[in-house]
């Protein structure tokens, strides 16, 4: 884990324990609060950053425990998007593998045809050379 992510987790732990160093007064545990407590600016923790996915889940769970509410709607939407993205990745990987297999087959076929073409060119050249030698003998 990077140092910044470790700082975010440390800040989250301080907020969970109720012993923040920077945040004063009442607070809710959210992305901005954790970022500020970690000494960063508001908005540093973004849902679009994949490396922070575990941190985002931990923040949401901590707030749910703190308030005693289960706001599974927000997490559920996140999980649905995550699952959709994973499904899309699997489909794309499958398609990539299929295209790679087709490419390999076409490449093998091209190599075979190129080799056969070279053989035939050599045979034609050899035949032409023998005919020229025969004609030279007749003259």
What pLDDT does residue 135 have?
59
To the nearest 10°, the Cα dihedral for 89, 92, 94, 97? -120
Give buried/exposed letters for 67-80 (b at 16+ CB in 10 A, else e). Answer: eeeeeeeebeeeee
Spell out the per-residue pLDDT of the chain, length 139, in tens.
688 888 989 998 998 888 888 888 888 888 899 999 899 999 888 888 878 888 888 888 888 888 776 555 555 667 777 888 898 999 999 999 999 999 999 999 999 999 999 999 999 998 888 776 665 655 5
């Amino acid at each position: 884990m990077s140092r910044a992510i470790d700082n975010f987790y440390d800040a989250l732990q301080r907020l969970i324990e109720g012993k923040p160093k920077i945040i004063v007064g009442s607070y809710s545990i959210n992305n901005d609060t954790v970022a500020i407590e970690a000494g960063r600016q508001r908005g540093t923790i973004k849902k679009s950053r994949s490396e922070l996915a575990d941190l985002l889940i931990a923040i949401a769970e901590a707030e749910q425990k703190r308030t005693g509410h289960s706001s599974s709607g927000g997490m559920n939407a996140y999980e649905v998007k995550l699952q959709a993205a994973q499904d899309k990745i699997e489909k794309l990987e499958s398609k990539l593998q299929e295209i790679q297999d087709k490419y390999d087959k076409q490449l093998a076929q091209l190599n075979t045809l190129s080799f056969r073409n070279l053989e035939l060119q050599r045979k034609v050249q050899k035949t032409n050379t023998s005919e020229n030698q025969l004609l030279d003998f007749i003259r």
